[in-house]
Structure 1
Amino acid sequence: MAWITDSLRGAIEAVGRLNPFTRAGLGGSTALPGIFTHQLAIAAYMASGMMKKVISIPAEDRVREWRDWQADAKAIEAIEAEERRLSLQAKVQEAENLRGIGGGALIIITAGDHASELKPDQVRKGGIVAVNVVSRWQITGKDWIKDLASPRYGEPTMWEMQGDKGDQVRIHPSRVICFRGARLPAGSAVADDEAFWGDSRLLRVYTEVTRSDETQAWFAALVRKAKLLRIGIPDLDSRDPEQLNKRIEVIALGESSLNATVYRSSGGQDDAGETITDYQVTWAGIPAMMDAFDQRVSAVSDIPFTRLLGRSPAGMNATGQHDMDNWNKAVVSGQKLETRPCLEQLDPFLIRSAGADPAKVTWKFAPLSVPTEKEEADTFNVTMDAVTKLQATGAIPDEAFAKGLQNLMTEREYIPGLDQALADIPENERFGLNPDDDGTGDDPSKLQAGKEGDPASAGGGTNVPARRAVNDGGVPTGSSPFEDGNKHHWGRGARGGQFKSGPGGGGSPGDYVGRAIGGGRGQKQRPVGDVSPSAARLVKQRTGIDIAGKELRLDHSGIAHAWKNHGPEGKVHGAKALTKGDLVRAATGLNQATDVRPAKSRGMNGPRFEATYTNRRGTMTVIYETSSKAVYPMNAWWVK
């Protein structure tokens, strides 16, 4: 029976060499050397799907949405075309992958000697021939700088790379953009090149990734083992080998042909018979244990479990949004601290190669998450509120403000086709400029001189562009109440620009205001325009008051009240004292209102409301009263 014992021993030893639970490759040490070779790094990366995800996910997310350029449209188009020509986005992702494995670099290829320094002003349009990616093991640093006073301490004075003919090609450091890992602690006993390239993500996560892979391998081995049959044969060691083989063959044939197991059952108390059982595995707790190893990988790699494993979050009311928000913050941090410095080394050459001026170009990384329609609407509302407040400061000239706002609307694509539509409009109309502006400024008395433009109908009597809806039905910007084509024509006298006809007495709007604040007898209201449809809609939405189709008028008592309280000799509750021109503009300012709200009191002739509008002098609040046919200001002041 020695042959049976020896055969069993030999079989067990042979199986032991194949057992996944005892193989040195899985059960041995999981540590890599602290500093490893190119072959070890690539082998560790290629051998594990989990390792590939840990390395590639940060690299992919850093460049996934790429970057948004801030420049004029032609420059942006040229730069983006240059990036596509050079396949820059994909190559930066490849370099970021190499950063995670151990280090990599972008090499700027231009005409000429690569050993010479490359300066940005040497690059002309199309001057960059290519941008290529190499790993840290393909280039070798020479003559490392040891001078502590040098800003390039710890860097090489020259790089070398093996050429296609086997010779060493010298490359100046200005042409090499290195994607390095985290810095090693100062004083680490490593070579210059190892200290330069730093620590790698692969080395940091290797142990935990290997343990996770081992756990998966062990679980797979358990699944295979669970399919094994256990055959118990009485007196196995005394059986004839030929008889034993035939018996096992019959059992296997029964399972194969009959889908059943045929065996000899017990024949009595003294006959145990054969027994056939399945291998029993207790599965409870195994998935949780596997998750524990994967969560450890997630923790060490700083990648959320839901992102790393592609699984939905667990737990009641869990959405995973918090994890993704934290991950996005980590990606943004990596973009800021690692990716952006590398791109900023390249951009002076890239932008010139695109034919643009680097001094007029800026950029930022595009947002990582795509907002929902509701989030986009909320963002739009918040942005417009901020724009309104910024405009109210009066710190930005109106033409520059209009250009910036139009660029904002175009870049964010709030209105599709806006850029082309604006390009078809003359510049003085596009940016809200009034070609007929007489430049009379804020002094109402100047309305009687020159072209006699009316501040009330020209956006408030200043050279501030009047902002109005294109389809507004009010008095057109630049049309004066004194022009014959205006239905509010006041009539022109023969004496030096004086006026004698029209309701409420003769003279200009400035004359009307002068009589009101001078304590003269009461005057009838004077029309200066119509309520625009956009202003009527805004008032209706905010207050419920319907002013559609009504006239805008000057009111004697309202002007006197505002001047008394907020003029130069009044209490001046506002930011500054009112001028006569301000009182004229208070009437027509409603058509430029940016905010409307109900007033605290009701007027004698109808309901009142408050409105705020902005011009280059600042932001003014006006209390308007309504009647059956008109809207007119009863008080006004500059907002502090």
Structure 2
Amino acid sequence: MGNIITMARDSLTSLVSRMGTDRDKAATTFYSHTYLTDEQLIAAYSTSWLPRKIVDIPALDACRKWRDWQAKKPQIEAIEEEEKRLNVKGKILEAAKKGRLFGGAAVYIGTGDANPAEPLQVDKITKGGLKYLNVMTRRQLSGGETERNPESDWYGKPKLYTLTGANGQQIAIHPSRLVLFTGAMPADDEITNNPWQGWGDSVLQSTLDAVKNADSTAGNIASLIFEAKIDIIRLPNFMASLGNEEYKRKILERYTLANTSKGINGTLLLDKEEEYESKSAQLAGLTDILMAFMQIVAGAADIPVTRLLGQSPAGMNSTGTSDMKNYHDRIQSMQELEFQPAMARLDEAIERSADVRDPDVHYRWSPLEQMSEKERAEIFKTTADAARTIVGSGTGQEIIPREAVSDALVNRLVEDGVLPGLDAAIETYGNLSEQEPSEEEIAAAAATQASNTNNVTRMQRAANDAAPRTLYVSRKVVNAADIIRWAKGQGFKTTLPADDLHVTIAYSRTPVDWMKIGEAWQSELKLAAGGPRLMEQFGEARVLLFKASELEWRHEAMESAGASWDHEEYQPHITISYDPESPDLADVEPYQGEIILGPELFAEVEEDWQAGVSEE
């Protein structure tokens, strides 16, 4: 029996195609560790737009919206003023960019101490004790001996950094005084023999090959444009006659004249025996090739193509939303996992220098995505509706006390910025818990207590069990004189009296419990000038249509409480006139001024209300 040879392999091998064998062409491909010199990094960053964007964009996006401090208003103002004085945002942005470019940069926390080699005593910083912040790169700041004590906070980091001055003077700096940005994390200092001890790699180290390929492709395409069309002329005995100088002179003169005549007349004059041919390069598909290289660059840099190139998403049903959301998640991870730990000591120093010593003070990174006005309005409505749901109708059975919900809602609205100046107004008028109960509320609470109802709260009403009835809710127009003046100027001979100009919010023939409707958030409502305004005819009425989200939300809340509405949708409007001789509405320029509405007025529905309509 012959010998049986057993061969064991842990990869796919094909002797026919030579794949996996020593003759496989792919077997010659391997990775080697090379370092880009500072001169190469600076040249790439300074002369090519792609490396500059790869370095700058993530750092810029991580800093551009900055952060929102969560504290009391005076504390926030003090911290933000200190940040502005020290230009913290600008220094961190500069250090982040240089750290990504060189693989290492730091912000030096200057407190005026005599010996920067000693650890920073953050707890000893007093008001104004933070003097300055300076940015240094690894070109000026070199790492010393690596800390190998596993009990040390600085394990794996240099025990000291050395700053080399202009005159060769060297200053030792303790790492606690530095906000370190190390670029791309090195795989292993000892194996790779990183020449920059204590620092990382440049982000261009792993992306520059992709960038060079893209730049080379773009350059070759640009050169090809100049060769897009080539004229070929065949001459009898051309090569045999080139030795004659007179022949060469006449050839140049001849085709110079031919090209001139072609440019002027669009006609090329040739001898009968000469042959002419024009060849054009095929440029179709070059854009796809270039974009394929750009996508490789974007993948290497971990930046969406739309953000890297500053272009809109292309293709059917392509919005780029998913790409940008993933990118924003990546930036948020960079902020929370890289920036925030690196800035921990600096942030504590800023708080103490601002004379803020509250352990509850913290911050959140601001979201990169900006909401539209519509989205902000929808969030406001959702927040307000949620607050109403939690509080209930004031029966004393609410899950959370109304005062607590009020305070939390105010904090949310101030943080979201949906009601500018709300915090100042709260300081002037006080919040719900600081306001004295009204006489009606006191009387309602007393009546409830007299009926032996337990757990009486400040906001209880005695009429909670009121019988349902029809409901008509309106707001009178406070500046009716302005609107009447406009109407007269547009040709209306008569209008409703100033006292009758109003906006209807609810007209429910279906009986409803008024107490479930609740109260409006604002007693007076001001609608800014401008916006969508139209003149329409509703039956015999000539009305001014306008947009008011507050009225629409209030109408929806009343419908949710059981109120009916006789029309398909609710449209805020003011009835101007019922005069059949009113001007043609197509010729009327809608009122564009401010509209001021008074408090909500509740009444029962009057079916014969038109009988009392009069005009002036």
User: Would the TM-score normalized by the shorter structure come out above 0.5?
Assistant: yes
Following the alignment from structure 1 to structure 2, what is the Cα–Cα distance between the partners of residues 368 and 436? 48
CA, structure 1 residues 228+380, in 2 after alignment: closer, same or farther (shift >3 Å)?
same
Deviations 1:72-91 (A, max 9, x none): 22222222222222222222
Shift of 1:303: 1.5
CA distance in 2, matches of 1:295, 1:428: 54
* Residue of structure 2 in register with 1:207 after alignment: 209
Distance in 1, Cα, partners of 2:389 & 2:182: 44
CA separation in 1, counterparts of 2:288 and 2:375? Answer: 37
Give matches, 1:294-305, under 5 Å. Answer: 294-305=294-305
- Tell me which amino acid in the other structure corresponds to 2:171: V
Match of 1:255 in 2: 259
Aligned partner of residue 108 in structure 2, secondary structure: strand
Q: Which runs of 5+ in 1 are unaligned?
A: 1-28, 448-453, 467-474, 476-480, 482-508, 514-524, 553-592, 600-625, 630-640
Assess, with a 3 A threshold, how the Cα gap between structure 1 residues 543 and 128 changes in structure 2: closer, same or farther.
farther
Partner of 1:545: 511
In 2, Cα distance between equivalents of 1:358 and 1:227: 74
**Counterparts of residues 558-573 of structure 1 (less than 5 Å):** none
Distance in 2 (CA, whole Å) between partners of 1:32 and 1:207 is 13
TM alignment of 1:189-208, pairs within 5 A:
189-191=191-193, 194=196, 196-208=198-210
Distance 1:143 1:188 in 2: 13
> Aligned partners of 1:68 and 1:627: how far apart in 2?
48
Instruction: Trace 1:189-588 onto structure 2 (pairs within 5 A).
Output: 189-191=191-193, 194=196, 196-226=198-228, 229-237=231-239, 238-239=241-242, 240-256=244-260, 259-260=263-264, 265-267=270-272, 272-273=273-274, 275=275, 277-388=277-388, 391=391, 399-425=403-429, 427=430, 431-434=434-437, 462-464=456-458, 544-545=510-511
**How far apart are 1:349 and its partner, in Å?**
0.8
Q: In the alignment, is the contact (CA less than 8 A) between 2:258 and 2:269 conserved in 1?
A: no
Structure 1 partner of 2:54? 54
Aligned partner of residue 192 in structure 2, secondary structure: coil
Distance 1:264 1:372, change over 3 A: closer
Distance change (3 Å), C-alpha of 1:308 and 1:46: same
1:395 Cα deviation from its structure 2 partner? 7.0
- Equivalent of residue 137 in structure 1, options 129, 136, 139: 139
Distance 1:305 1:429, change over 3 A: closer
Are the structure 2 counterparts of residues 263 and 318 from structure 1 closer, same or farther at C-alpha, using a change threshold of 3 Å?
A: closer
Shift in CA distance, 79/229, structure 1 to aligned 2, threshold 3 Å:
farther
Computing the radius of gyration from Cα coordinates, the structure with the larger value is 1
CA distance 1:252–1:322, change in 2 (3 Å): same
Structure 1's 334 and 532: CA in aligned 2 closer, same or farther, altered over 3 A? farther
Find the aligned partners of 2:286 and 2:155 in 1 and give their Cα distance. 52
Measured against aligned partners, the alpha-carbon deviations of 1:557-595 in whole angstroms (never above 9, x if no partner) come to: xxxxxxxxxxxxxxxxxxxxxxxxxxxxxxxxxxxx999
Quote the offset at 1:163 in angstroms: 2.2
Q: Is the 8 A contact 1:543 1:597 kept in 2?
A: no
**Alpha-carbon displacement from aligned partner over 1:172-196 (angstroms, at most 9, x marks no partner):** 2111011123433457513477464
Contact 1:143/1:156, CA 8 A, preserved across alignment: yes
Q: How far apart are the structure 2 equivalents of 1:42 and 1:105?
A: 18
- Whether the 8 Å CA contact 1:110–1:128 is kept in 2: the answer is yes
Partners of 2:48 and 2:284 in 1: how far apart? 27
1:8 corresponding residue in structure 2:
none
Q: Distance in 1 between matches of 2:472 and 2:131?
A: 58
Match of residue 110 from structure 1: 111
Q: Secondary structure at the match of 1:545?
A: strand
Partner AA of 2:47 in structure 1 = A
Q: Secondary structure at the match of 1:245?
A: helix
Q: 2:159 is matched with which residue: 157, 160, 180?
A: 157
Give the structure 1 partner of residue 98 of structure 2.
98
- Please report the RMSD computed on the Cα atoms of aligned residues, expressed in angstroms: 4.4
Aligned identity (percent) is 31
Indicate how the Cα distance of structure 1 residues 206 and 328 shifts in structure 2: closer, same or farther if over 3 A, else same.
same
Partner of 1:581: none
> In the aligned structure 1, how far is the partner of 2:132 from the partner of 2:57?
26
Taking structure 1 as reference, are residues 329 and 526 closer, same or farther at Cα in structure 2, changes over 3 Å only? Answer: closer
Q: Distance in 2 between matches of 1:137 and 1:350?
A: 27
Q: Judging changes above 3 Å, is the alpha-carbon distance between structure 1 residues 167 and 80 closer, same or farther for their aligned structure 2 residues?
A: same
Determine helix, strand or coil for the equivalent of 2:342. Answer: helix
Query: Structure 1: how far apart are the matches of 2:472 and 2:189?
Result: 74
Deviates more, 1:438-447 or 1:335-344: 438-447
How far apart, in 1, do the equivalents of 2:161 and 2:108 lie? 11
Q: Tell me the alpha carbon deviations over residues 389-447 of structure 1, each in whole angstroms, 9 at most, x when there is no partner.
A: 5557967665554333222222222222222222222x476644549999999997976
What does residue 634 of structure 1 align with?
none
Give the letter aligned to residue 328 of structure 1. H
Measured against aligned partners, the alpha-carbon deviations of 1:449-474 in whole angstroms (never above 9, x if no partner) come to xxxxx999xxx9745467xxxxxxxx
Is contact 1:543–1:596 with CA below 8 Å preserved after alignment? no
Aligned partners of 1:305 and 1:412: how far apart in 2?
31
In structure 1, the partner of 2:171 is: 169
Once the 2 structures are TM-superposed, how far is the Cα of residue 48 of structure 1 from its aligned partner? 2.0
Offset from partner CA, 1:34-66 (integer Å, 9 cap, x none):
333322322232332112112211111111211
Q: Structure 2: how far apart are the matches of 1:408 and 1:389?
A: 16
Q: How many Å apart are 1:370 and its aligned residue? A: 1.2
Q: How many residues align?
A: 462
**TM value normalised by structure 1:** 0.62
Higher relative contact order (CA 8 A, sep 6+): 2
Q: Which moved more, 1:286-295 or 1:394-403?
A: 394-403
Paired residues of 1:183 and 1:195 also in contact (CA < 8 A): no
In structure 1, distance between residues paired with 2:514 and 2:165: 79
Opposite residue 56 of structure 2, the aligned amino acid is S
Matches of 2:400 and 2:310, distance apart in 1: 48
1:470 is matched with none
Rounded Cα–Cα distance in structure 1 between residues aligned with 2:513 and 2:440 = 29
For residues 203-239 of structure 1, give each alpha carbon's deviation from its aligned partner in whole angstroms, at most 9, with x where no partner exists: 1211111111111111111112235544544323324
Which residue pairs with 2:126 in the alignment? Answer: 124
User: Which one of 184, 187, 194 corresponds to residue 186 of structure 2?
Assistant: 184
CA distance in 2, matches of 1:45, 1:455: 80
Contact 1:441 / 1:461 at 8 angstroms: preserved in 2? no
Give how far 1:161 is off: 0.9
C-alpha distance in 2 between matches for 1:264 and 1:435: 103
Structure 2's unaligned 5+ residue stretches are: 1-28, 475-502, 519-556, 564-602, 607-616
Cross-structure match for 2:41? 41
Aligned to 2:69: 69
- Which stretch of the first structure deviates more once superposed, 158-167 or 431-440? 431-440
Q: In 2, distance between residues paired with 1:143 and 1:43? A: 31
Q: What is the rounded CA distance, in whole Å, between the counterparts of 1:549 and 1:402 in structure 2? A: 19
In 1, Cα distance between equivalents of 2:509 and 2:282: 71
Provide Cα deviations, 1:117-144, integer angstroms capped at 9, x if missing partner.
2222222222222212222222011221
What's the counterpart of residue 6 of structure 2?
none
* CA apart distance, 1:245: 2.6
